[in-house]
Structure 1
Amino acid sequence: MDPDAVKSTLTNLAYGNVMAAAARDLQKEMVAKDKAQASKVAYDEVDLDELMDDPELEKLHAERIAALKKEVEKRQEQKKKGHGEYRDVTEGEFLGEVTSSELVICHFYHHGFYRCKIMDKHLKTLAPKHVETKFIKVDAENAPFFVNKLGIKTLPCVILFRKGIASDRLVGFEDLGAKDDFSTIALENLLIKKGILSKKKKDEDEDAESIRRSVRSSAYSDSDSD
């Protein structure tokens, strides 16, 4: 076979392969461009003004704002009643405190008892986190009438009130492993289990701030924050 003919044939084959590869690359580029253009068109077709004017969305937004405002009002009312803090109350104040809120945790303590101080520390931590429940404490020495009436014989004694009625109690640390080193979370979970505290999905401070932001934004109906 003529060497020049063979060389010409190989050259033609190589050129053909290059052209085929170039054609494939061009085809891929065109397909990708078409997809990007289609995606852009689909996005451009979404009219945000029409979306914001959707009556169903407006209704949902209004319902959400109303619920948040109601929650804020409820929290403010609870704080007026002493929720959100752990307070010392006298025997004369005790009855009014436990009957003015639906959920109340009352710690009967003795100021000289070490275990009462441990319970104090944990309840003080939980009070601002669980605004739905009132946290109070009473010096047992200065409240003999209610100590006798409630049958309190061991301190610390934490009594759980629902609508003014003593429904459950924690005596000493029996329900917490009978040890002094139990955690605040362990006490919190026990009180949630007993139904006197609500289970939290997120930190109370973050939730309260979210409510405040939503209510503030609703006050400016023409603003972008809506």
Structure 2
Amino acid sequence: MDGGKFRDTMHSLNYGTVMEAAARNYMEEKTREDAHAKARARARVLDAKELCEDPDLEDIHRERVQAMKEAQERRMTMERTGHGTLTEVDEKEFLPEVTTTHRVVAHFYHQEFERCRIMDKHLSALAKKFFDTKFIKISAPDAPFFVTKLQVKVLPCLIFFKDGVAFDRLVGFEELGGKDDYPTAKLERILLKADAVVQPEKNESDSEDEVEEIRREAMSRMMRTGGFKANSDDEDSDFD
């Protein structure tokens, strides 16, 4: 065999040996990576299980359930006193209504005025949304004392009370654009700006599974991202 062929043969053998070694190293490294991945997955499952059984979350859940029960009882009590609907009152009932409730929107109306009926329609819708404010209506012709006392001269007239004190009002439809077909949202914005109503908190019925949802989201997020503390397997290095 001449020198050139010998060198080519040795080069081929050396190249083959190097490739075999590289393949072995790759397989060994891949095996270690797979083992680490499985270990991390097991750690995630264990940590997620611990999260689900976290006593702090259980305490939060119990407190939340108790708060929801109390809120529901409060809501039922308020419903019995007229919250959530547009309630008609007479002159004798008017003063107790506005002095025993934190926020009251009182509509002075005339039964023959079309715009008063339009106002009633919008107020009925808003009473359901802004439950903490009591919405009442009183016939102006049948309440001369309060019409005079509160200087009600144009109907419809909304007077806003807070702790028994009249602090603002909406007279006629001028601020509503002067048209009969204004949207309820326009009246809502006026009431919010005047602080006659406040944005309701999240509905309690929508929050019954809030803690459980937090728990599921946290577990899902950690399962996706591997966002757990390192374990002993993760601390190994392939460059030792």
TM, length-normalised to structure 2: 0.69
Q: State whether residues 108 and 158 of structure 2, in contact with CA within 8 Å, keep that contact through their aligned partners in structure 1.
A: yes
Determine whether 1:209 maps to 2:205: yes
- Paired with 1:140 and 1:62, the residues of 2 have a C-alpha distance of 49
Aligned to 2:65: 65
1:90-140 residue CA offsets vs partner (Å, 9 max, x unmatched): 222212222221111111111121211221111011111111111111111
What is the CA distance between 1:52 and its match in structure 2?
A: 2.8
Aligned to 1:218: none
Kindly tell me: are residues 178 and 47 of structure 1, through their superposed partners in 2, closer, same or farther at Cα, counting changes over 3 Å? Answer: closer
Paired residue type of 2:167: S
Q: State whether residues 89 and 138 of structure 1, in contact with CA within 8 Å, keep that contact through their aligned partners in structure 2.
A: yes
Where in structure 1 are there 5+ consecutive unaligned residues?
Answer: 215-226
Paired residue type of 1:39: R
1:139-189 residue CA offsets vs partner (Å, 9 max, x unmatched): 111111111111000111001111111111101123223333321112112
Identity of paired residues, percent? 42
Paired residue type of 2:131: V
Kindly tell me: are residues 19 and 209 of structure 1, through their superposed partners in 2, closer, same or farther at Cα, counting changes over 3 Å? Answer: same
Kindly tell me: are residues 139 and 40 of structure 1, through their superposed partners in 2, closer, same or farther at Cα, counting changes over 3 Å? Answer: same
- Paired with 1:120 and 1:20, the residues of 2 have a C-alpha distance of 87
Q: State whether residues 81 and 100 of structure 1, in contact with CA within 8 Å, keep that contact through their aligned partners in structure 2.
A: no
Aligned to 1:44: 45
Aligned to 2:212: none
Q: State whether residues 107 and 159 of structure 2, in contact with CA within 8 Å, keep that contact through their aligned partners in structure 1.
A: yes
Q: State whether residues 81 and 101 of structure 1, in contact with CA within 8 Å, keep that contact through their aligned partners in structure 2.
A: no
Aligned to 2:172: 172
Determine whether 1:184 maps to 2:212: no
- How many residue pairs align between the two structures? 208
- Paired with 1:108 and 1:57, the residues of 2 have a C-alpha distance of 50
The alignment yields a C-alpha RMSD, in angstroms, of 3.3
Superposed counterparts of 1:30-179, under 5 Å = 30=31, 33-46=34-47, 48=49, 52=53, 54=55, 56-179=56-179
Kindly tell me: are residues 53 and 31 of structure 1, through their superposed partners in 2, closer, same or farther at Cα, counting changes over 3 Å? Answer: closer
Kindly tell me: are residues 47 and 167 of structure 1, through their superposed partners in 2, closer, same or farther at Cα, counting changes over 3 Å? Answer: same
TM, length-normalised to structure 1: 0.73
Query: Which stretches of structure 1, 4 residues or longer, exceed 6 Å deviation after superposition?
Result: 18-25
- Paired with 2:28 and 2:188, the residues of 1 have a C-alpha distance of 64
Where in structure 2 are there 5+ consecutive unaligned residues?
Answer: 1-5, 210-240
Paired residue type of 1:143: A
- Paired with 1:209 and 1:165, the residues of 2 have a C-alpha distance of 33
